[in-house]
């Protein structure tokens, strides 16, 4: 749907998603491109200082609905988001229990693993969430 996002500007991403390119959305997309990994609404709100938190939440809801962002739930139960316009590659995360660093893990074999299993109650699985928690290299050296 989106093609290579690296070659698309924020106006094109919003046009492809059939959303108006408002000043707030453009500012949010600009800031999201700077963030590595999943982020909280609070972090994005701090980066978009000119917007109130309700505007940030409202725009996030719209961007999630059209696939420009996706929700990520981690062990701490806080809802986070990722900038992922048209992302077709499903992925998981490894999270450091010490410093909170989050790394994207690009390969996922869970769908093929489930297809090898026999379930009496499920005909199909549409999606899944799997996150790994441990200690990153930097924290393990301390």
Q: What is the pLDDT of residues 68-113, one digit of tens each?
A: 888 888 777 678 888 877 655 667 788 888 888 888 887 777 766 6
- Indicate the burial class of 85 (C-beta count within 10 angstroms; 0-12, 13-18, 19 or more): buried
CATH number at residue 134: 3.30.1490.190
- Strands 102-105, 79-83: pairing is unpaired
Copy the structure tokens of residue 43: 């972090």
Into how many domains does the chain fold?
2
Rounded to the nearest 10 degrees, the angle between the axes of helix 53-65 and helix 23-32 is 80
Over residues 57-75, the mean pLDDT reads: 89
pLDDT above 70: percentage of residues in the chain: 82
In sequence order, what E strands does the chain have?
69-73, 79-83, 92-96, 102-105, 131-134
Highest mean pLDDT among 1-5, 91-95, 119-123: 91-95
Average pLDDT, the chain: 82
One domain for residues 41 and 72: yes
One domain for residues 15 and 75: yes
One domain for residues 37 and 13: yes
pLDDT of residue 1: 44
pLDDT tens-digit series, residues 28-42: 999 998 887 889 999
One domain for residues 71 and 14: yes
Residue owning tokens 């990994």? 37
Global pTM?
0.71
Query: Which domain range does residue 72 map to?
Result: 5-83
11 pLDDT more than 50: yes
């Amino acid at each position: 749907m989106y093609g290579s996002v690296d070659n698309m500007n924020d106006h094109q991403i919003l046009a492809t998603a059939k959303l108006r390119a408002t000043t707030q959305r453009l500012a949010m997309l600009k800031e999201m491109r700077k963030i590595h990994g999943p982020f909280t609404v609070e972090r994005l709100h701090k980066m978009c200082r000119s917007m109130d938190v309700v505007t940030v939440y409202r725009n996030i809801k719209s961007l999630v609905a059209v696939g420009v962002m996706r929700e990520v739930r981690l062990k701490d139960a806080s809802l986070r988001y990722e900038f992922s316009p048209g992302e077709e590659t499903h992925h998981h995360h490894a999270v450091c229990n010490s410093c909170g660093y989050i790394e994207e893990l690009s390969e996922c074999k869970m769908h093929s693993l489930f297809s090898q299993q026999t379930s009496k109650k499920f005909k199909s699985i549409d999606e899944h969430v799997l996150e790994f928690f441990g200690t990153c290299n930097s924290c393990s050296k301390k």
